[in-house]
Amino acid sequence: MNAAPEDERRHDAPDTIGERLDRLRGDDFVGRTFELRFFEDYLTRLPERTERIVNVHGTGGMGKTVLLERFRAIAVRFGARFALVDLRDVSGDPGHIAAIVRSQTADADAAEADDAPAAPAGQAADAAAAALNRIAASRRVVLAFDHYEEVGPLDAWLRETFLPKLHANVLVVIAGRYPLEGPWRLSPAWRKLVVALPVSEWSYDDAKTYLTRCGVTDEPLADRLWMQTLGHPLSLSMAASAAAPGAGRSAASLPERLDVRFEELVRHWLREAPDDELRDLVMAASVPRTFHQESLSALIGRPIAPSLFERLVRLSFVERSAGGWHMHELARETVRQSFRERLPDRFAEYRASTIRSLRDRITAALRDGRDMSREAAELLGHIGNPIVRAHFRHSRASRNYWETVGPHNVADAEAYVRRRLSRARDFNIRCSDPETGEPFRFALAAGHSLLALTRLPIRELVERGGEQAVTLLRNPDGEAVGLVAIVPVHEGTLDFLAQAPVSRAYFRALPPQRLQALRKPPRDSDVRYLYIADADDYEREELRSDLVRLKLEHMLGGALLIASPPPFPYYEEGHLSLGFEPVPGAEHTDYDGAGPAPTYALDTRGERMLAFLARVTGSSGGAFPAFAAPADAEPPSEEPVLTPRESEVAALLAQGFTNADIAAALYMSVPTVKKHVKAMLQKYGLKNRTQLAKALPPSRPDRSP
């Protein structure tokens, strides 16, 4: 009675190991929804399209080969014939490509012809094109080329001889590490036939789905793997293997930074750099965040030949940026870590040289009155606060743009606010410090992220503050995905800000003479009130980075910035990490039901910029003094100002409580206690917990700002 179902199951099961592999690969495939729909749309609407070549490109490890297999499944589902040529299997002979194409598209007659002696390359190409065209006359054909970076001189043969022979019912897919360049882009005709399909890292949701399928179900562990790999598919696969699930396997059972088959990953990135000379240059280029030929030459202490630099910038994981070139962030971190471990003295020398160069350029720019925001932002990425460094990891991935709000588009800003208020949701914000691997996680409740929006008088801010007061962040499709209001304080805005909820707390705390000094003409204003910096999805790293970068532009432009965000840890730690300090006497309860909210200030005007940079880089009095505060700068307070939560932790730490004891007493997690202890160590300029306990008085009074 049971034999028939078993036979039935046997019949339905894959017949070969290869078929079983294909099924398992399909089960493991996650994400790439846009790419799959893109390909399906091009395939099904091919007659309506001008383009006939889809160029799938992305740096190594992005899963391009796996994506091509999904393209095959889509083609089969729609009745199209699919042929794949792996250019690693082609030894520079056009006849090999032709033979592979014919073997995958052969009918009975063509199969017999394969037994005949090999034809000359030209004839073989004609025969392969004819075989494809016979099929294309009645159905669509997809011809895919994988690992196109290996094509070599066959690129010209394919472009000039083979592809032009193909029927218009053939869709060509070219996948490789690099976008098609050279003649493909220089020829207007070829340019119109090619459509680019770049592939990038997985989103957090896709990465979490993949990890769940790998058996990683512990959410903190999944978060750590995601933050350490930035969603890079190959790296995440290696990380999942390194964190193979076992009985009770969780984030707490693993070391602070996973060794994700580190050397294997380095070899993967450096496969494109076969000789030692180029590899040495890649190592050097991993130290600065951005570089150009002159800066790298200065870094290594010798001139770099133009031909060698050209080879460097043509690597698939090197991209052009506003300040020169930069490495893909995960490739940079991977190579940089290898450099630091293999050659620690040379790495330290290069890093110190990079920081000195940035320091000198910033100091010169301040002296000459030139903009130095780019250099200062890069310095913060090197030695700034860990939370700031964490925000910089994905910042270059953003293709969003800022649009000033005026009477012509103020309705768009109001529509953004209405949409945010109607679609409120909780956010779990995850990021990690690329230097140490330290994770940061913030829970931002739906109501918390909306408090500032409910108090935002957009039209009044635009009318009084001008078109620079409110800006919208738009994605490449033009949709508003963020909003920032930074209002200049001058004679036209002061009375309004001094009366408006939230902002009034700061101005009421000022003595009359300081308040009167703010009544300047708009052109002379150097004070800004940061009303809000909001994103519609705080879990997207590029949106958070966009907000941080806009704040940095104002901070590094030399201004007094005032802000009073809702009183929650995400906003509090974000402002403190950027160098803001609490303003005594400017607390308020204008955020209904949210408790007392502090007001923060940051002054970077004139020589205060150096003091600010020294503070946020932790370099004042440290082992590597990047900046020294000017002689006439105000001396620091006798005792660092701690946040309310840090004060509570400090009081128990000074009494000898362990981190676990403190966590239990204050109803917080042990990692959160560690985070507060680390922040206090930085503020006190100390190295360890023992030194901090000695520096704190046994019975510490509350120093809430």
For the domain that residue 483 is a member of, what is the CATH number? 3.40.630.30
**What's the length of the chain?**
705
For residue 618, being part of any structural domain is answered with: no
What is the percent of the chain where pLDDT is above 70?
A: 82
- Please tell me the predicted confidence (pLDDT) of residue 122: 60
Q: What element of type H or E holds 513?
A: helix 512-517
- Please tell me the predicted confidence (pLDDT) of residue 237: 79
For residue 277, being part of any structural domain is answered with: no
- Strand partners for 483: 472, 534
- Strand partners for 602: 561
- The token pair at 467 is 């078109």
Q: Is the pLDDT of residue 506 over 90?
A: yes
End-to-end CA distance of the chain: 78
Alpha-helical segments (H) within 401-441: 410-422
Query: Is 430 in the same domain as 567?
Result: yes
* Ranges 253-267, 429-443, 608-622, most confident: 429-443
- Please tell me the predicted confidence (pLDDT) of residue 149: 84
Mean pLDDT of 413-425: 92
| CB distance 609 to 580 below 8 Å | no
- The token pair at 190 is 């070829």
Q: Is the pLDDT of residue 255 over 60?
A: no
- Which pTM does this prediction carry? 0.61
Mean pLDDT of 617-621: 52
Query: Is 167 in the same domain as 208?
Result: no
What DSSP character marks residue 89? Answer: G
Distance of alpha carbon 105 from alpha carbon 134, whole angstroms: 10
* Ranges 205-219, 402-416, 634-648, most confident: 402-416
CATH code for the domain in which residue 643 is found: 1.10.10.10
For residue 555, being part of any structural domain is answered with: yes
Query: Is 129 in the same domain as 161?
Result: yes
Give per-residue pLDDT as tens, 440-463. 788 888 888 898 898 888 999 998
Query: Is 42 in the same domain as 163?
Result: yes
| Block residue for tokens 């990021």 | 431
How many domains in the chain? 4
Q: Is the pLDDT of residue 490 over 90?
A: yes
Query: Is 506 in the same domain as 583?
Result: yes
Question: Burial code of 599-611, b = ≥16 C-beta within 10 A, e = fewer?
Answer: bbbbbbeeebbbb
Query: Is 98 in the same domain as 234?
Result: no
For residue 350, being part of any structural domain is answered with: no
Query: Is 428 in the same domain as 574?
Result: yes
What is the band of 248 on the pLDDT scale with cuts at 50, 70, 90? very low
Q: What share of the chain is helix, strand, coil (3-state, %, to 5)?
A: 50, 15, 35
* Average pLDDT for the chain: 80
For residue 52, being part of any structural domain is answered with: yes
Final residue of a structural domain among 170, 198, 226: 198
Give per-residue pLDDT as tens, 580-608. 889 989 999 998 767 889 999 999 887 78
Query: Is 26 in the same domain as 152?
Result: yes
| CB distance 544 to 537 below 8 Å | no
Query: Is 39 in the same domain as 159?
Result: yes
Strand locations in 65-159 (E): 81-86, 141-146
Long-range pairs of 576-581 with CB within 8 A, sequence gap ≥ 24: 576/600, 576/643, 576/679, 577/385, 577/386, 577/387, 577/388, 577/616, 578/385, 578/388, 578/548, 578/551, 578/552, 578/602, 578/616, 579/555, 579/612, 579/615, 579/616, 581/641, 581/705
- Please tell me the predicted confidence (pLDDT) of residue 678: 81
For residue 217, being part of any structural domain is answered with: yes
Final residue of a structural domain among 587, 605, 623: 605
Distance of alpha carbon 203 from alpha carbon 540, whole angstroms: 9
Q: Is the pLDDT of residue 397 over 60?
A: no
Query: Is 186 in the same domain as 38?
Result: yes
- Please tell me the predicted confidence (pLDDT) of residue 379: 78
- Please tell me the predicted confidence (pLDDT) of residue 699: 45
CB atoms within 10 A of CB 576: 22
Range with lowest mean pLDDT among 105-114, 213-222, 311-320, 472-481: 105-114
- Please tell me the predicted confidence (pLDDT) of residue 495: 93
Mean pLDDT of 636-652: 71
Give per-residue pLDDT as tens, 35-50. 999 999 999 999 999 9
Provide the residue range defining the domain that includes 679: 637-705
What is the band of 26 on the pLDDT scale with cuts at 50, 70, 90? low
Question: Burial code of 478-493, b = ≥16 C-beta within 10 A, e = fewer?
Answer: eebbbbbbbbbbbebb
Query: Is 687 in the same domain as 556?
Result: no
Q: Which of 287, 466, 295, 465 is nearest to 381 (CA)?
A: 287
CATH code for the domain in which residue 118 is found: 3.40.50.300
For residue 179, being part of any structural domain is answered with: yes
Q: Is the pLDDT of residue 510 over 70?
A: yes
| Block residue for tokens 């002061």 | 494
Query: Is 171 in the same domain as 36?
Result: yes
Q: What's the number of CA atoms in the CB half-sphere (13 Å) around residue 253?
A: 10
For residue 120, being part of any structural domain is answered with: yes
